[in-house]
Amino acid sequence: MFEPETFAQQLQVQKYSGARLDQLAQIELLRFWTDELAKPRNADPKRLLRYGYKIYSQCDEDGIIAEIFKRIGVKNRIFIEFGVESGIECNSVKLLVEGWRGLWLDGGEEFIAQIRSHFQSFVANRYLVANHAFITAENINGLIAQAGLGGEIDLLCVDIDYNDYWVWQAIDVVQPRVVVIEYNATLRPPLSLVVPYEAQRRWDGTSYFGASLEALVRLGRSKGYRIVGCNFAGSNAFFVRNDSAADLFLDPPTAEEHYEPPRYFFPLLRSGHPPHPGPFVAV
């Protein structure tokens, strides 16, 4: 059985070249992932974890998002995501390449410049709007409205590393059918905890950030959403609006049922070559 801490210690002492070391790490991570998915808990086809895969997302979010929309269908193919950094590795890149359109927001001017360079054709064709902004609960609705978006959209992704709970709570200018939001997996169910709101506070790199999964489940419930799963890394939770969820997802819709522990080493698993999201030509 793969044990991440033991394996990490072994890697520190073994005298492999960088390439060889990387290959061994990838093999061991794949083995660990396969072993975990083979456990009885993950046998139910309604559990989303088994459908995860990575193309452009940081972990396995691409596959989970694809499976959610396979079940509920798409309507307007519009996304909003904030906290995207350079955009090369986030939850809506795959959708953008597939013809969706939407809005990216990030607090780093250098990241927005990189997006406008790397995704020039998408920006020029108005499939993508990328704006610089430090996001707060007070300004998020205005930032979305300024981009010309409102009403129902298919996907909202929230990943700002600290005030995620408070920003999702504040959003009312759009009604996403699916919400992907970062949770603090170190705060295990049944803990319902969230950091106090400080508009200008940034993540300090510690485990003090965001909200527990239980807190987000309660918030989602108050906004008309049910939790449908978490990703393997224990970093993102997936919610579907009640009127779209039907009986398509695993019950009960609780933090205890869907919680995944922190496996923050998992982003080390790569899907192949370094990501470069197009543009591609459909044939």
User: From first to last of its 283 residues, what are the pLDDT tens digits of the chain?
Assistant: 445 455 445 445 444 455 666 778 888 888 999 999 999 999 999 999 999 999 999 999 999 999 999 999 999 999 999 999 999 899 999 999 999 999 999 999 999 999 999 999 999 999 999 999 999 999 999 999 999 999 999 999 999 999 999 999 999 999 999 999 999 999 999 999 999 999 999 999 999 999 999 999 999 999 999 999 999 999 999 999 999 999 999 999 999 999 999 999 887 676 666 777 877 777 7
Residues 26 and 84 in one domain: no
Residues 60 and 78 in one domain: yes
State pTM to two decimals.
0.90
The verdict on residue 220 lying in a domain is: yes
Q: How far apart are CA 26 and CA 11, in angstroms?
A: 12
Residues 103 and 27 in one domain: no
The verdict on residue 274 lying in a domain is: no
The verdict on residue 2 lying in a domain is: yes
The verdict on residue 278 lying in a domain is: no
Q: Where are the beta strands (DSSP E) in 101-233?
A: 101-106, 128-132, 151-158, 174-182, 225-230
Residues 206 and 105 in one domain: yes
The verdict on residue 153 lying in a domain is: yes
The verdict on residue 283 lying in a domain is: no
Domain assignment of residue 17, given as a range:
1-38
Residues 167 and 209 in one domain: yes
The verdict on residue 95 lying in a domain is: yes
Q: How far apart are CA 199 and CA 194, in angstroms?
A: 14
Q: Is the dihedral of CA 273, 275, 279, 281 positive or negative?
A: positive
Residues 108 and 12 in one domain: no
Q: At 80, which CATH number? A: 3.40.50.150
SS3 content of the chain, % helix, strand, coil (to 5): 35, 15, 45
Residues 86 and 105 in one domain: yes
Residues 109 and 1 in one domain: no
Token output for 50: 């088994």
Q: How far apart are CA 174 and CA 29, in angstroms?
A: 38
Residues 28 and 121 in one domain: no
**113, 191 in Cβ contact below 8 A?**
no
Residues 201 and 228 in one domain: yes
| pLDDT for 2 | 45
| pLDDT for 283 | 76
Q: How far apart are CA 48 and CA 229, in angstroms?
A: 6
The verdict on residue 282 lying in a domain is: no
| pLDDT for 22 | 76
Residues 169 and 113 in one domain: yes
Residues 87 and 190 in one domain: yes
| pLDDT for 271 | 62
| Domain count within the chain | 2
Q: Compute the half-sphere exposure of residue 21: CA atoms within 13 Å on the CB side of its CA.
A: 13
